């Protein structure tokens, strides 16, 4: 090891600064949310829960929270089976077209989200899905699918399809052998994929900006509007809650992925 060479020291210092740059903004929100000050002051003058009270007492924020959670749950409920079925088919089938289909399912990651958002807005405007719950859920299912497909495909890679063949040769039909043999073994990646789809639906903002409205506006849309107009520490409280929620979900997902 070239321990104390100047280059090595520079490397440590630069990396430390970059890491501070990365995590400081994530850490700064919680103290603001517990501060009593109306404007952003740091360090906070005194501890207070008023911004959390404002959040929980405000019907508009509560309605938005309900919309977000409903959309996220419904998204997982639809995207997970769709994604699992697709990933299974892609991994089992030798058809050439499957490669094209595989790429197509990853399109939501490739197309810039603003383009997807405007495109969906135009299509929804024609069929009357703008500012509706089904419209919002459907868009999030599409955006969440790649996460499920990628996660389940990764899980299927370490699964030996011969086991399912054995089950079938012993008289189980394809469906039963999938549920009895395959699914239990890839369960962790299915759950992880579902969790990522949930987080993606919870955080999605840009599509919601275009297609949601009225009483069906998710939290992110209201937060965006609030941030554009004025900076209110209520958003720090919501942000803190959202961050804690998604960290817990990520920990759950990665514990799942490791613990197989």
Partner 1 sequence: MLALVSPALLVILLLIVLPVGWLAWQSIYHDGFTLENYRRVFTEDIYWRSFALTFEISLAVTLIALLLGYPVAYLANSLPKGWSILILALVVLPFWTSVLVRAYAWLALLQRSGVINQFLRYLDVISEPLALVHNTFGTVVATVHILLPFMVLPLYATMQKIPGDLMQAGASLGASPSLTFVRVFLPLSLPGVLAGCTMVFVLCLGFYITPELLGGGRTVMVSMLVSRNVELYNQFGAASAVAVVLLASVLAIFFVVSRFISLDRVLGQK
Q: Quick check: 246 binds partner 1 (CB under 8 A)? A: yes
Q: Which two tokens stand for residue 140?
A: 């999030």
3-class secondary structure, 43: coil
Residues 125-144: x where in contact with partner 1 by CB under 8 A, - otherwise, as a string: -------------xx-xx--
Q: Quick check: 21 binds partner 1 (CB under 8 A)? A: yes
Tell me how far apart the alpha carbons of residues 90 and 185 are, in angstroms, rounded to a whole number.
17
Hey, which residues does 35 pair with through a beta bridge? 47
Q: Quick check: 212 binds partner 1 (CB under 8 A)? A: no
From 50-58, 76-84, 155-163, 179-187, span contacting partner 1 (CB under 8 A):
76-84
CA distances from 184 to 177, 178, 198 (A): 11, 9, 21
From 50-58, 82-90, 165-173, 179-187, span contacting partner 1 (CB under 8 A):
82-90
CB of 76 to partner 1, least distance (A): 14
Tell me how far apart the alpha carbons of residues 196 and 208 are, in angstroms, rounded to a whole number.
18
CA distances from 182 to 65, 71, 88 (A): 36, 29, 10
Binds partner 1 by CB under 8 A, chosen from 69, 98, 131, 133: 98
Binds partner 1 by CB under 8 A, chosen from 74, 191, 199, 201: 199
CB of 56 to partner 1, least distance (A): 18
Q: Quick check: 250 binds partner 1 (CB under 8 A)? A: yes
Q: Quick check: 163 binds partner 1 (CB under 8 A)? A: no
Map tokens 């790429």 to a residue: 103
Site size toward partner 1, by CB under 8 A: 83
CB of 106 to partner 1, least distance (A): 6
Picking from 167, 145, 148, the residue whose alpha carbon sits closest to that of residue 156 is: 148
Tell me how far apart the alpha carbons of residues 211 and 226 are, in angstroms, rounded to a whole number.
18
Nearer to partner 1, 23 or 57 (CB): 23
Helices (H), the chain: 6-33, 50-57, 59-92, 97-105, 107-110, 113-127, 133-157, 162-169, 174-177, 183-203, 206-211, 219-229, 234-258
3-class secondary structure, 160: coil
Q: Quick check: 206 binds partner 1 (CB under 8 A)? A: yes
Q: Quick check: 29 binds partner 1 (CB under 8 A)? A: yes
The number of beta carbons lying within 10 Å of the beta carbon of residue 259 is 7
From 57-65, 159-167, 186-194, 226-234, span contacting partner 1 (CB under 8 A):
226-234
From 37-45, 53-61, 156-164, 181-189, span contacting partner 1 (CB under 8 A):
37-45
């Amino acid at each position: 090891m070239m321990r104390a060479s100047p280059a090595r020291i520079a490397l440590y210092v630069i990396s430390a600064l970059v890491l501070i740059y990365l995590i400081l903004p994530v850490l700064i929100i919680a103290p603001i949310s517990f501060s009593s000050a109306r404007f952003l002051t740091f360090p906070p003058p005194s501890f207070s829960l008023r911004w959390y009270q404002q959040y929980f007492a405000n019907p508009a924020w509560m309605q938005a929270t309900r919309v977000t959670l409903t959309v996220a749950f419904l998204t997982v409920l639809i995207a997970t089976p769709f994604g699992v079925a697709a990933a299974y088919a892609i991994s089992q089938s030798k058809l050439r077209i499957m490669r094209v289909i595989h790429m197509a399912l990853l399109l939501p990651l490739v197309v810039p989200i603003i383009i997807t958002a405007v495109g969906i807005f135009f299509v929804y405007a024609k069929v009357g899905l703008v500012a509706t719950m089904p419209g919002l859920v459907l868009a999030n299912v599409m955006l969440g699918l790649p996460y499920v497909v990628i996660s389940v495909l990764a899980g299927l890679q370490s699964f030996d399809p011969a086991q399912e063949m054995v089950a079938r040769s012993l008289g189980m039909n394809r469906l039963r052998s999938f549920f009895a043999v395959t699914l239990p073994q890839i369960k962790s990646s299915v759950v992880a994929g579902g969790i990522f789809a949930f987080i993606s639906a919870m955080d999605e903002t840009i599509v919601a900006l275009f297609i949601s409205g009225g009483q069906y506006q998710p939290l992110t849309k209201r937060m965006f509007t609030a941030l554009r107009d004025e900076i209110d520490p209520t958003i720090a409280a919501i942000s803190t809650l959202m961050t804690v929620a998604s960290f817990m979900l990520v920990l759950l997902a990665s514990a799942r992925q490791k613990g197989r």
